[in-house]
Amino acid sequence: MEQLHEKERELEEARSSSEGEEKINHLAAENVRLASEVLKAHSQAEKTLQAEKDLITKQFTEKLKTAQNERDKLATDMEALRAKMRVMESRIEDQKSSIEQAEKIRKDEVASVQAELDAVRKEKAKLKEEMENLRSNNNGNPVPPPRRTISNMSTYTYNTQTDFSEIEDVHRLRSEIDKYVLCVGFCFVF
């Protein structure tokens, strides 16, 4: 640019002086050549600038596209994780509900077993009391002494009073009481 200004100045000087037209033509041609070079350089600089601009735009577009793809992938992953979290929360709620229901059933069963145990304890106390009453009524012997049996059946008459069913009932009741006491004792162990 400086050369162009210098040549223009020389051209002006040459016009003002009366040196030959040849010098003016020479300077004019030089001026045209320099202007052409300036335009060519300017055009080349513009092309280079445009190429750099296109390259930067392309790189930025690629980076932007990569970032958008990554963002979309992260958004998809996030949505999948949210869906998974909702499923897990639903399962947790279902499990809490199941646990609460199982706990309620367990409490009801414990209350039922406790009521049965209380009833068994009362029955045991009642049976003990009855057993004590039976012992005290029979001078400490729960089973009355055996009656004499008729050794000779020929002397057995209709008027003879021997009640074998009482002895059998006492033995049967005694075995039932023993079984029950054993069962109640077993229940208290557990």
Examine residue 67 and state whether it is found in any structural domain, yes or no: yes
Examine residue 58 and state whether it is found in any structural domain, yes or no: yes
Examine residue 138 and state whether it is found in any structural domain, yes or no: no
- Yes or no: say if 4 and 38 are a contact pair by the CB < 8 Å rule: yes
Mean pLDDT of the chain: 80
Examine residue 46 and state whether it is found in any structural domain, yes or no: yes
Spatial distance between the Cα atoms of 144 and 137, rounded to a whole number of angstroms: 10
Spatial distance between the Cα atoms of 188 and 124, rounded to a whole number of angstroms: 11
Query: If you average pLDDT over residues 125-144, what whole number do you get?
Result: 71
Query: If you average pLDDT over residues 168-186, what whole number do you get?
Result: 77
* Share above pLDDT 70 across residues of the chain, in percent, rounded to a whole number: 73
Examine residue 40 and state whether it is found in any structural domain, yes or no: yes
CA 106 to chain centre: 25
- Yes or no: say if 166 and 138 are a contact pair by the CB < 8 Å rule: no
Spatial distance between the Cα atoms of 130 and 170, rounded to a whole number of angstroms: 14
CA 68 to chain centre: 31
CA angle, residues 25, 27, 29, in degrees to nearest 5? 70
- Yes or no: say if 147 and 162 are a contact pair by the CB < 8 Å rule: yes
Spatial distance between the Cα atoms of 76 and 85, rounded to a whole number of angstroms: 14
| pLDDT at res. 151 | 52
Examine residue 43 and state whether it is found in any structural domain, yes or no: yes
User: Residue 37: which domain range?
Assistant: 2-71
Is the pLDDT confidence value at 159 over 80?
no
The pLDDT tens digits for 10-32 are 767 666 655 566 777 787 788 88
From the CA atom positions of the chain, what is the Rg in Å?
62
Q: If pLDDT is split at 50, 70 and 90, which confidence band does 45 have? A: confident
Tokens matching residue 5: 């200004």
| pLDDT at res. 34 | 85
Torsion of CA 50, 51, 54, 55, to 10 degrees: -150
Examine residue 124 and state whether it is found in any structural domain, yes or no: no
Tokens matching residue 160: 């003879």
Is the pLDDT confidence value at 81 over 80?
yes
> How many distinct structural domains can be found in the chain?
1
Cβ atoms within 10 Å of 11's Cβ, excluding its own: 17
Examine residue 63 and state whether it is found in any structural domain, yes or no: yes
